[in-house]
Structure 1
């Protein structure tokens, strides 16, 4: 496959789209943003923006001449991803990066997430089918595990209240999980596009850290230079709360069950890959430690 130079990104102003766009520009790619006509999102100066209707015909016209397309449209846009894929193939795009910045296929998620997973697999299957019929079209999914610095800042349910300097430790706090920082997510996309042959038509598994709640608490205390108040809870409570909310049709169930999956003791459910078995080295993602994460989170909070 020839080198990838011209890259389109969908969802450039989102939580993951922003660092991915910045990483692509920094790496020297010729970046273009595609967004809906009525979008009110703000984009960085100096990057061309194409506003269009999200139909296959209109999107195909917008994608002509591009080498790759990166989809970061978020959960609300998953239903249109098949149209993006069809348009990319019709326009002659060589690589399509799926909007799957999560745990990827094969993850042992709770039954409550099966419908969400089925929606995502529609796009995975479409990309796979097209690549088999048209070898000039390729795809990549990027599994990042927990988006750790972003999630710690945004969701106190993960157990860390940055303003109050307090921690809620679930069970023993020793269950480890893998995560990738926003910077690492951006680098993962750059790495995929720089190594199109090695990353074609598969999911890559990336990580910048494997860590536990206890290790994060110790790191936050070192970085802030003060002891944090520590409270205790149980992942069983999260499981019960999430399932009750789900059954009642109430909001908040997704976060409760996601955090349960992260910390449930003895499961190792959320260890995406070991350092040796991941694609982090291939994609030039730097391995980080708990202090690195604490510094990033405190500095940006």
Structure 2
């Protein structure tokens, strides 16, 4: 498979899209941003931006001449991804990175997430179909596990309030999970596109670390040089609260259930892959320490 040079990206200003765009530019790819005409998003200087309606005809024209497409659109736009895939194949694009960043195939999601999963599956199945009928068109989906530095900084429910320097340890605090940092997510996309033959038509498994809450708490305390206030909770309580919110149609039910899945005692539900069984080596993702994760999560908070 010939080298990929020109890459179009959807969702370039998003939480994952921004670091992916930065990583692609740094790696030397010719990046083009695709967005809707009415979008108010801002983008880095020097990167071409095509504003177009998301119809098959207009997207095909916008994607003509691109070698690859990276889709990192937000949840509201997931249902348009199948159209993007059709347009990419029609335009002669050779690789489409499907917006399926998460835990990958076979993950034991709670049934409350079935509807969301079904929407994402539509695009994945469309990419598979087109790759079978057109050998020049290929796809990749990147499984990242927990986006760890971003999630720790943004969601105190995950157990760490980086502003208050306090922690909630669920159960024994020993349940391990894997995560990929924002830098690792950017590198995972670069890795896929620099190894197109090895990553064609499959899920790749990314990871930056395998860790538990107790290890993270120790790391946060070492990085800040002070003892954090620690409380204890039960992952099972999050399961109950999340399901109650879901039944009642309340917001943020998903966060409760996601954190439950992360820390459900004795299940190892959220260990995506061991270092040896992952694709981190192929993708050239650096394995990080708890202290490095803590520093990234703290960001500008650390004095």
- 2:252 corresponds to which residue? 252
User: What per-residue deviation string (whole Å, max 9, x for no partner) do you get for residues 211-264 of structure 1?
Assistant: 001000000000000000000100010000000000000011100000000000
Paired residue secondary structure (1:100): strand
Root mean square deviation of aligned Cα = 0.6
Aligned to 1:225: 225
Partner of 2:298: 298
Verify: 1:106 aligned to 2:106, yes or no. yes
Q: Structure 1 residues 183, 191: CA separation in 2 closer, same or farther (over 3 Å shift)?
A: same
TM-score, with length taken from structure 2: 0.99
- For 2:12, the equivalent position in structure 1 comes to 12
The alignment partner of 2:287 has SS state of coil
Q: Which runs of 4+ in 1 moved over 6 A?
A: none
Paired position in structure 1 for 2:164: 164
The answer for unaligned runs of 5 or more in structure 2 is: none
CA-CA distance at 1:299 after TM superposition: 2.3
User: Aligned partners of 2:76, 2:61: CA distance in 1, in Å?
Assistant: 24
Instruction: Tell me how far apart the structure 2 counterparts of residues 17 and 87 of structure 1 sit (CA, whole Å).
Output: 20
Q: Which residue of 1 aligns with 2:286?
A: 286
The Cα shift of 1:74 comes to 1.8
Q: How many aligned residue pairs are there?
A: 301
- Could you tell me how far apart the structure 2 residues matched to 1:76 and 1:270 are? 25
Please state how far the C-alpha of 1:113 moved relative to its aligned partner.
Answer: 0.7
Partner residue of 2:77?
77
Deviations 1:142-184 (A, max 9, x none): 0000000000011010011111110000000000000000000
Shift of 1:300: 4.0
Answer yes or no: is 1:3 the counterpart of 2:8. no
> What secondary structure sits across from 2:102 in the alignment?
coil
Q: Give distance in 1, aligned partners of 2:23 and 2:40.
A: 23
Gaps of 5+ in 1: none
Residue 297 of structure 1 and its aligned partner are, at CA, apart by: 1.3
Q: Which residue of 2 aligns with 1:37?
A: 37
CA distance in 2, matches of 1:134, 1:236: 47
Q: Say yes or no: does 1:115 pair with 2:115.
A: yes
C-alpha distance after superposition, 1:49-107 (max 9, x if no partner): 00000000000000000000000002111100000000000000000000111111211
Return the alpha-carbon distance in structure 1 between the equivalents of residues 209 and 251 of structure 2.
30
Partner Cα separation in structure 1 for residue 109 and residue 243 of structure 2: 13
Instruction: Report the Cα distance in structure 1 between the residues aligned to 2:245 and 2:282, rounded to whole angstroms.
Output: 41
Following the alignment from structure 1 to structure 2, what is the Cα–Cα distance between the partners of residues 244 and 197? 46
Partners of 2:43 and 2:281 in 1: how far apart?
31
Residues 104-126 of structure 1, C-alpha deviations (whole Å, 9 max, x = no match): 12110001111111111111100
